[in-house]
């Protein structure tokens, strides 16, 4: 069996990934989120608030039966608030960075710790990153810094498992600007807190947003053909 552990499966890219994977009976999906939208025999809901440190500390990865592939996809993330530094609420920063940065790192740590023993089994960690990791969008200090941190964690973990000769493929991929609820939040930003608002409004009005389903199909294809994953940090 192929086991997929995905955060944020209740909507957006995470939901699209799960929907596609569940069409194949060889896939078992563990969805980590606060709410569940699936009723499928191969879907296992793990109710977790990834912005809650105590729930992260208690999180346990499942024991798996005869795995041929084990995948962790760190997808869940939040913009937090699109505001300039100095205008943000401290609680917003803390909650968002817990979800965007601490949770993926904790899950990567637990995933490697749990499944590192058997080098005969292929294991993949895919972190969903963004162009905001390397582009300083004003108003996006929470999201951009979180994705930048995730990219560095990805590169370090990839180097560490390589040095230990452990059978992990660890990458971060940006799927592009997708048509999700996050983009609605972007387009509702206040212009004086986001100077590039018009660009994102135009992407939507000109139908240039990426479908989550199309992005999900491409990501799954890459994971199932790991020889295509030639770069640690990349975009679709």
Kindly report, residue by residue over 28-84, the tens digit of the pLDDT. 999 999 999 999 999 999 999 999 999 999 999 999 999 999 999 999 999 999 999
| pLDDT digits 0-9 by tens, 144-183 | 999 999 999 999 999 999 999 999 999 999 999 999 999 9
Residue 3 designated active-site: no
Distance CA 4, CA 59 (A): 16
Determine the pLDDT at residue 118: 86
Say if 191 falls within a structural domain: no
In a domain, 68, yes or no: yes
CATH number at residue 133: 3.40.50.720
- Structural domains of the chain, count: 1
Report the C-alpha gap between 143 and 82 in whole angstroms: 9
186 within domain boundaries:
no
Whether residue 206 lies inside any domain: the answer is no
Active-site option among 3, 137, 143, 227: 143
Asked if the structure places residue 196 within a domain, the reply is no
In a domain, 39, yes or no: yes
Q: What is the pTM of this model?
A: 0.96
Q: How far, in Å, CA of 151 to CA of 47, rounded?
A: 26
Q: CA–CA separation, 20 vs 217, rounded Å?
A: 7
Residue 111 resides in a domain? yes
- Tell me the residue range of the domain where 30 lies: 2-177+211-235
Q: Is residue 199 part of a domain?
A: no
Q: Which three-class secondary structure string do you get for 85-143?
A: CCCCCHHHHHHHHHHHHHHHHHHHHHHHHHHCCCCCCEEEEEEECCHHHCCCCCCCHHH
């Amino acid at each position: 069996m192929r086991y997929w552990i995905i955060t944020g499966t209740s909507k957006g890219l995470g939901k699209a990934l799960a929907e596609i994977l569940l069409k194949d009976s060889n896939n078992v999906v563990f969805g980590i989120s606060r709410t569940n939208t699936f009723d499928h025999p191969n879907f296992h809901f793990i109710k977790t608030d990834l912005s809650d440190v105590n729930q992260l500390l208690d999180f346990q990865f499942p024991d798996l039966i005869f795995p041929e592939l084990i995948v962790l996809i760190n997808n869940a993330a939040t913009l937090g608030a699109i505001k300039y530094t100095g205008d943000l609420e401290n609680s917003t920063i803390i909650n968002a960075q817990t979800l965007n940065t601490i949770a993926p790192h904790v899950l990567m740590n637990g995933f490697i710790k749990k499944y590192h023993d058997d080098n005969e089994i292929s294991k993949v960690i895919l972190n969903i990153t963004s162009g905001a990791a390397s582009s300083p969008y004003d108003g996006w200090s929470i999201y951009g810094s979180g994705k930048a941190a995730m990219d560095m964690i990805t590169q370090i973990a990839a180097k560490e498992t390589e040095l230990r000769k452990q059978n992990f493929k660890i990458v971060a991929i940006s799927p592009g600007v997708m048509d999700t609820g996050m983009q609605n939040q972007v387009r509702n930003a206040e212009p004086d807190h986001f100077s590039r608002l018009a660009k994102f409004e135009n992407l939507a009005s000109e139908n240039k947003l990426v479908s989550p389903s199309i992005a999900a199909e491409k990501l799954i294809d890459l994971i199932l053909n790991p020889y295509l994953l030639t770069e640690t940090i990349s975009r679709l």
